[in-house]
């Protein structure tokens, strides 16, 4: 114990340049946890090209800086040389993921509305609602910078999700909402908080909280065509399933369906270890993230999705009440549909081992056949955080690329403890190259990965990756 104390003192002594009362830096990332990409449309000559701003939430996880101001949300222009900061602000420490509602992809937002960023703060159980300027600069929302979301039954908000209806959504565009999931819940309930961006903070229903099954909601994906928000939840006890809540008809998430709340459900689960059930999530796999495929036919009853999961021991977990074991990670390619009884089905089309710590999954921008213009199958990025590997999967060929470790040093190419995965929704200007970002929590940088959409197999880690540690202040 004495030795540990000495080491701790030594470590603190080495940090002589900072004080725990200093705000976190605004020109560099520090324990980044959340990433998002803001598309910046630039109209020229009748065409619009999309540039980008990278938003990074830093957590100040070791409290090097002040607890109240040690975190940050920094927007950088990754296309500038050197990378420049286009806006930044301090936030409380222990940030989680960063959710972004981009007006460009969210027509339900009032005309002229700025983009909105959401940053959950663990410990203090608040969520920042930030306005994001056209150049990416964050600032407090006029209606209040933080939203208290904690309660005795839930805490440590972490994950974020967004539900935006598109022009093709049934019944016309209407939804613009942000969602937050939690790492701490009593009774094992899966708490979800909804922030309605079409309401004012003083309106009834601006913030609603509801429970949807059990576990922690670690990821969300919204299907605008069905007005359905899918929920990837951690395991509590025996079962694992993909949950969902249907958001149509202005229903509330804080009431049961019988009392006027939103209808919800999940894939079926086993009642017996040996009784396989059609449409279930593979037995012994805890879901960690989900991303929906680009939609090519809104009327189709089947929606492709990409889901990451971790293999665990369901028998031991049933006895312990929590997940036991974390043996491997998988990327699932699944078709989601409903069976004759209206029950959600999780039909596995392909599964790819990705390694320890299966985490975020994202779909890269849609690609099209250069000759026919027909949409091609997706290119997907998935993160195995504990192994430090980013996988690129081509759903057209089934081929994969592992962006893993440096063959000489053995270090992960994307840094240690990768955390956060974000995709520029548009290909880089004038190219068919997708830009993907992954943060390194431990090494305080973000890796930009450029994936050639036409043929991802030609990706070259020597030329297709570079690191961003922050930016030059204006």
Partner 1 sequence: MTRVHRLLAAALALAVSGTACTKAASTGPGALFRQPSSVAAFRGKTLGNPSAIAPYLAVANQSRNDLTIVNGATDVAVPAPVVLRGLVLSVPNRPMLVAAASLGDGPAAGSVEVPADPSTALPDLLVAVSGGGSVLQLVETWKAANLVHSEPLTDPLAVDLGYDVLALAVVPSPAGTARLAAVLADHRVAVVTYARQRDGAGQTDGSIAPVLPVATSGVLPFQPEAVAAMPGDPALTSLFVATRDPIATDASGKPVYGVEELSLAGLVPVRALGARAPTRLVAAARLKERIFGDWGTGQPLPGSAASDDAAFVGRPEVPRVYAVLDESGCGLDKPIDCGVVALDPTVPSGTQAIPSDRTAGSAAPGDAYMPYRAPMRVPGRPVAIAVSGPPARPPPAVAGEPDFTTSPLSAYMRLYSGSVARATTAVAAVPCDDGIVYYLDLGRFETATGSLAVASKPVSAAMPAYTRPPTCTTSTAAQPRCARRRLWLRPAPDGAFIADAIGASDVVTMTPGWTPDEQWSLVYQGLVAPSGLYGRAGEAGQDAGGNTWVALQTSAGGDTFNQVVRLWDPALGVREGDLLVIKARAVGCTGTSPGTNTDTDSEFYVQVASLVPPDAARYPGGAVTVTRVATDEDPAWATCYGALQDATRNGTVLRGLVVAVRAGGYVLTGTSAGSGGVPVSLGYLGRPQPNVAFTLAYQDEDALAAACPFEQWGWAGPPTPAVLGCDATCRAGCERLAIVRKLRRYQGVSVDCNTNSTLTSSCTTVWPGNAFPLVPGPTALAFTFDLQRDPEDPVDPLDPTVGSTPFRDLRLTILSRSNVTVSGASGKSTSPFQASGMTTFDRSPWTPDAAAGYRFLVSYPADFVLDSSPSHSNGDPVVIR
Does 225 bind partner 1 (CB under 8 A)? Our answer is: yes
Contacts of 20 (CB under 8 A, 6+ apart): 63, 64, 65, 66, 67
Nearest approach in angstroms of CB 172 to partner 1 is 7
Q: Residue 73 in 3-state DSSP?
A: strand
Q: Which residues contact 152 (CB under 8 A, 6 or more apart)?
A: 186
Burial of 46 (0-12, 13-18, 19+ CB in 10 A): exposed
Assess 41 for contact with partner 1 (CB under 8 A).
no
Which structure tokens are listed for 457? 């197999």
| Beta carbon of residue 432, minimum distance to partner 1 (angstroms, whole number) | 19
Q: Does 398 contact partner 1 by CB under 8 A?
A: yes
237 binds partner 1 (CB under 8 A): no
Question: HSE (CB half, 13 Å, CA atoms) of 58?
Answer: 35
Considering only 69, 166, 400, 432, the residue that binds partner 1 (CB under 8 A) is 400
Q: Are strands 242-246 and 228-233 parallel, antiparallel or unpaired?
A: antiparallel
When asked if residue 257 is in the footprint of partner 1 (CB under 8 A), the reply is yes
Closer CB to partner 1, 36 or 108, in the complex = 108
What CA–CA distance (Å, rounded) separates 312 from 117?
34
- Token duo for residue 24: 């976190």
Decide if residue 205 touches partner 1 (CB under 8 A): no
Nearer to partner 1, 316 or 472 (CB): 316
Q: By CB under 8 A, is residue 368 in contact with partner 1?
A: no
Cα separations (Å) of 219 from 88, 97, 291, 332, 335? Answer: 26, 10, 9, 15, 18
In the set 145, 151, 248, 318, which binds partner 1 (CB under 8 A)?
Answer: 248
Out of 31, 118, 222, 312, the only residue in the binding site for partner 1 (CB under 8 A) is: 312
CA gap 109, 415 in Å, rounded: 37
Sites for partner 1 among residues 95-134 (CB under 8 A): none
Ranges assigned E (strand) in 150-297: 154-164, 176-185, 189-196, 207-214, 217-223, 228-233, 242-246, 264-266, 285-292
Q: Could you say whether residue 6 binds partner 1 (CB under 8 A)?
A: no
Least gap, CB of 287 to partner 1 (angstroms): 14
Report in angstroms how near the CB of residue 332 gets to partner 1 at its nearest.
12
Question: Hey, is 11 helix, strand or coil?
Answer: helix
Among positions 53, 122, 154, 228, the unique one binding partner 1 when judged by CB under 8 A = 228
- Of residues 9 through 28, those in contact with partner 1 by CB under 8 A are none
Closest distance of CB 282 from partner 1, Å: 6
Using CB under 8 A as the binding rule, whether residue 332 contacts partner 1 is answered as no
Residue 178 pairs in a beta bridge with 162, 195
Q: Per the structure block, which two tokens stand in for 136?
A: 């990416």
Cβ-in-10-Å burial (0-12, 13-18, 19+) of 291 comes to buried
**Minimum distance of partner 1 from residue 345's CB (angstroms):** 9
Cβ–Cβ < 8 Å for 8, 1: no
> Residue 148 or 172: which CB sits closer to partner 1?
172
Question: Quick check: helix, strand or coil at residue 122?
Answer: coil
Residues 270-299 that bind partner 1 (CB under 8 A): 271-276, 278, 282-285
- Ranges within 378-397 binding partner 1 (CB under 8 A): 387, 389, 391, 394, 397
Check binding of 166 to partner 1 (CB under 8 A). no
What residues pair up with 381 in beta bridges, in sequence order?
A: 362, 392
Nearest to 155 by CA among 242, 216, 71: 216
Residue range at the interface with partner 1 (CB under 8 A); choices 50-58, 91-99, 332-340, 373-381 = 332-340
- The binding site for partner 1 (CB under 8 A) comprises 169-172, 174, 225-228, 246, 248-249, 257-260, 263, 265, 268, 271-276, 278, 282-285, 311-316, 324-325, 327-328, 330, 335, 338, 340-343, 347, 349, 353, 355-356, 387, 389, 391, 394, 397-402, 404, 407, 457
């Amino acid at each position: 114990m004495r030795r540990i104390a000495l080491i701790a003192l030594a470590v603190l002594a080495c940090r002589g340049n900072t004080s725990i009362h200093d705000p976190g830096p605004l020109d560099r990332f520090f324990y980044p946890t959340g990433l998002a990409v803001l598309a910046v449309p630039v109209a020229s000559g009748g065409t619009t090209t999309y540039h980008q701003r990278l938003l990074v939430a830093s957590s100040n996880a070791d409290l090097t800086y002040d607890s109240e101001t040690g975190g940050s949300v920094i927007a950088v222009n990754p296309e500038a040389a050197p990378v420049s900061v286009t806006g930044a602000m301090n936030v409380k420490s222990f940030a989680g993921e960063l959710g972004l509602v981009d007006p460009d992809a969210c027509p339900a937002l009032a005309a002229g509305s700025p983009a909105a960023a959401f940053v959950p703060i663990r410990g203090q159980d608040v969520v920042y609602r930030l306005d994001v300027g056209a150049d990416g600069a964050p600032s407090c929302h006029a209606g209040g910078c933080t939203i208290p979301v904690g309660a005795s039954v839930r805490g440590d908000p972490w994950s974020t999700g967004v539900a935006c209806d598109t022009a093709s959504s049934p019944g016309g565009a209407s939804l613009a909402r942000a969602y937050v999931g939690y790492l701490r819940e009593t009774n094992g309930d899966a708490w979800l908080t909804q922030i309605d961006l079409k309401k004012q903070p003083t309106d009834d229903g601006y913030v609603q909280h509801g429970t949807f099954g059990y576990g922690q909601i670690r990821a969300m994906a919204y299907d605008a065509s069905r007005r359905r928000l899918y929920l990837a939840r951690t395991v509590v006890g025996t079962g694992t399933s993909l949950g969902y809540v249907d958001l149509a008809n202005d229903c509330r998430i804080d009431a049961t369906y019988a009392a006027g709340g939103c209808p919800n459900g999940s894939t079926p689960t086993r009642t017996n270890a040996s009784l396989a059930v059609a449409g279930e999530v593979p037995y012994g796999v805890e879901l960690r993230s989900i991303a929906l495929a680009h939609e090519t036919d809104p009327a189709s009853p089947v929606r492709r999705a990409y889901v990451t999961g971790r293999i665990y021991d369901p028998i031991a977990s049933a006895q312990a009440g929590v997940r036991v074991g974390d043996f491997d990670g998988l990327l699932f390619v699944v078709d989601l549909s409903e069976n004759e009884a209206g029950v959600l089905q999780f039909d596995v089309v392909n599964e790819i081992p990705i390694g320890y710590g299966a985490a975020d999954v994202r779909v890269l921008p849609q690609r099209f056949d250069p000759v026919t213009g027909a949409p091609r199958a997706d290119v997907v990025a998935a993160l195995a955080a504990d192994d430090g590997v980013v996988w690129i999967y081509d759903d057209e060929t089934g081929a994969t690329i592992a962006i893993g470790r440096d063959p000489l040093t053995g270090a992960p190419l994307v840094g240690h403890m990768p955390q956060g995965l974000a995709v520029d929704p548009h290909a880089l200007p004038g190219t068919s190259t997708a830009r993907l970002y992954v943060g390194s929590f431990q090494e305080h940088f973000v890796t930009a990965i450029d994936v050639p959409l036409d043929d991802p197999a030609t990706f070259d880690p020597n030329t297709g990756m570079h690191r961003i540690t922050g930016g030059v202040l204006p």
